[in-house]
Structure 1
Amino acid sequence: MNGAEWEGALWGTRALDWADVQQPTIRPVSAAVLGEFGGWQRRTLLDIGCGAGDFAGMASELGAKVSGLDASAALIEIARQRSPTGTFHVGDMQDIPFPDNHFSIVTAFNSVHFADDPARAFAEMMRVTSPGGSMVVATWGPPAECDAVSYLLDLGSLMPQRPPGPQPLLDPTDPDDLRALLTTAGLTLSPWRTVSCPWEYPDLSTALRGLLSTGPAAQAINHSGPARVTDIITESIAPYRRDDGSYLLSNTCYYLVALLSGTDAPARPPQPATPQEGRR
């Protein structure tokens, strides 16, 4: 089993819970990206790591011709059901199953850091983007801006110890790491945009449905068992419980627009960075 197949198996373990509870938590950044571009009726979109097709579905409602790629067969099946006019494939972002210059916009929301070789994934994204097209890449903000980090750290204590050897090539908690990789690829990059993407749940039961549906949770369950993981998540999110029994974890999502050479560009041109737009 290669890396993409392994990730697909993890993220598909509780596919319906991911689709119904957890993936919608990034809709604020999805809406912001949709607002970057005008005239979606003439756009062709590929979403990399599309999951259950949430963003693709939003773009389709605006008239885009949508496609999606994800390593999880279970999530792709949900995407196909929810957007029957779209084209969705199970596959590896390092070997995108579409021809060259095929899409006007290619997006990746919090997904590229799962690639064994992120540079190769970016090269594939560039290959399938048409001249004058755009790539949009989103990632979580640094730990100080994301309450979700405490949940991920606590899950990490329940996973197998990482064997000695090379570390991951892309730090998911450092937006500058991702930006440096894109800069190396020779792309024209916008400043970082930042969007608040809270994880909000009406009660503990819903919170556990969402937080147990992630790939890291599935990996922890495989190693430590569901009861132990459920207990640890319950303890981890206790500080974020509100008086009415709901939960709120505040998080920031960063995204940028990368332009390929040509004339097609976002409807809103890149703006100078402000303190709300991140560190670059």
Structure 2
Amino acid sequence: MTSFDEYERELWAGRAPAYERGFMQLTAYTVKPLLDAAKVGGGTKVLDVGTGPGVVAGEAVRRGAEVTAVDADPGMAETAARNVPGLDVRVAVLPVLPFADEGFDAVVGNFVINHVGEPARALAELRRVLRPGGRLALTCWEMPGSGALSVVRDAVDQVGVPWPDDIPVSPFMEYGRRDAFERLVRESGFPDAVTEPVSWRHVTDPEEWWRTGALAKVGSNGVIVSRQDEATVARIKAAYDRIMAGYAVDGGRVSLPAHALLTHATR
């Protein structure tokens, strides 16, 4: 396990409730395109890796698929089990999965590959559990992040708070680009991999986005905010409010742009 993986386990411990109230609403947009790309339908044996609160798994079940799900965080796995009654969900940390070779028709992961320290090893493991002819579909954030992904980070930068030395940088600062993501998946045993951009608008309440992200320590930006003194947090919040004002829509809400990459391939 890399230092990044160890950091991720600590980062997400206990964060399932805050993630479910906030960031889950953002990442839910790509669920249907993800399952479409993996051709998930009635009778498909599908593995949902990094299931989080179970949004992907729930949609796959609604399509009539036979779903197994895993998450590295026990709290996330418990949340998924609550949200998707009867779901076969287990705790497992990539790049090790507790399944036999070639057991699934489809493997999907919604914003999980960018949370592993060794993406190539993780992809090799996903390939191992996928049957020949089976489908892989993965999403990641497009880098550099913007809009919904970056408003807190942009506010932190405006205030001049540096990135802490003890917070490792995700490999997807490199791989979160269309050609790099596609090349990574192709070189991991999926030579027909195709990567497509996916963009949408996330409409939310700016105060709720602040509470469920920055103040709840969801993601590294939230961790950085949590380490600051009261005066610095206030300065970050003021910068955040100025940034959010540029995205304002009717009703006191904001419409934030979101940009991701969807890669799909056949084993």
Measured against the shorter chain, the TM-score band is: 0.7 to 0.9
**Inter-partner Cα distance in structure 2 for 1:207 and 1:150:** 10
**Identical counterparts, % of pairs:** 24
Alignment-derived partner of residue 127 in structure 1? 128
The yes-or-no answer on 1:198 pairing with 2:201 is yes
Q: Taking structure 1 as reference, are residues 19 and 75 closer, same or farther at Cα in structure 2, changes over 3 Å only?
A: same
The yes-or-no answer on 1:224 pairing with 2:228 is yes
**Inter-partner Cα distance in structure 1 for 2:162 and 2:14:** 17
| TM-aligned CA deviation for residue 173 of structure 1 | 3.5
The yes-or-no answer on 1:26 pairing with 2:30 is no
Which string of whole-angstrom CA distances, capped at 9 and with x for unpartnered residues, describes residues 64-123 of structure 1?
121222222111110011112222222211111222111111112222122121110001
Which string of whole-angstrom CA distances, capped at 9 and with x for unpartnered residues, describes residues 194-232 of structure 1?
32233321x233212332352224432553368855762
Q: Taking structure 1 as reference, are residues 154 and 169 closer, same or farther at Cα in structure 2, changes over 3 Å only?
A: same
Alignment-derived partner of residue 93 in structure 1? 94
Give the TM-score normalised by structure 1.
0.79
Which consecutive aligned stretches of 4+ in structure 1 deviate over 6 angstroms post-superposition? none
Structure 2 unaligned regions, length at least 5: none
Is the deviation greater in 103-112 or in 139-148? 139-148
2:39·2:135 contact (CA, 8 Å) conserved in 1? no
Tell me how large the CA RMSD over aligned residues is: 2.9
| TM-aligned CA deviation for residue 258 of structure 1 | 1.1
Q: Taking structure 1 as reference, are residues 40 and 234 closer, same or farther at Cα in structure 2, changes over 3 Å only?
A: farther
1:5·1:72 contact (CA, 8 Å) conserved in 2? no
Is the deviation greater in 76-85 or in 208-217? 208-217
Aligned pair partner of 2:181 in 161, 178, 193: 178
Taking the TM superposition and a 5 Å limit, the aligned residue runs for 1:65-214 are 65-143=66-144, 146=147, 148-154=149-155, 157=161, 159-161=163-165, 168-170=170-172, 171=174, 173-201=176-204, 203-212=205-214, 213=216, 214=218
Q: Taking structure 1 as reference, are residues 80 and 4 closer, same or farther at Cα in structure 2, changes over 3 Å only?
A: farther
2:34·2:110 contact (CA, 8 Å) conserved in 1? no
Which string of whole-angstrom CA distances, capped at 9 and with x for unpartnered residues, describes residues 169-212 of structure 1?
442542322211112123133432332233321x2332123323
1:207·1:247 contact (CA, 8 Å) conserved in 2? no
SS of residue matched to 2:7: helix
**Inter-partner Cα distance in structure 1 for 2:257 and 2:97:** 33
Q: Which amino acid aligns with 2:252?
A: G
Q: Taking structure 1 as reference, are residues 258 and 20 closer, same or farther at Cα in structure 2, changes over 3 Å only?
A: same
Q: Taking structure 1 as reference, are residues 128 and 160 closer, same or farther at Cα in structure 2, changes over 3 Å only?
A: same
Structure 1 unaligned regions, length at least 5: 261-280
Aligned pair partner of 1:253 in 244, 257, 260: 260
SS of residue matched to 1:50: coil
| TM-aligned CA deviation for residue 127 of structure 1 | 0.6
Give the TM-score normalised by structure 2.
0.82
Q: Which amino acid aligns with 2:196?
A: R
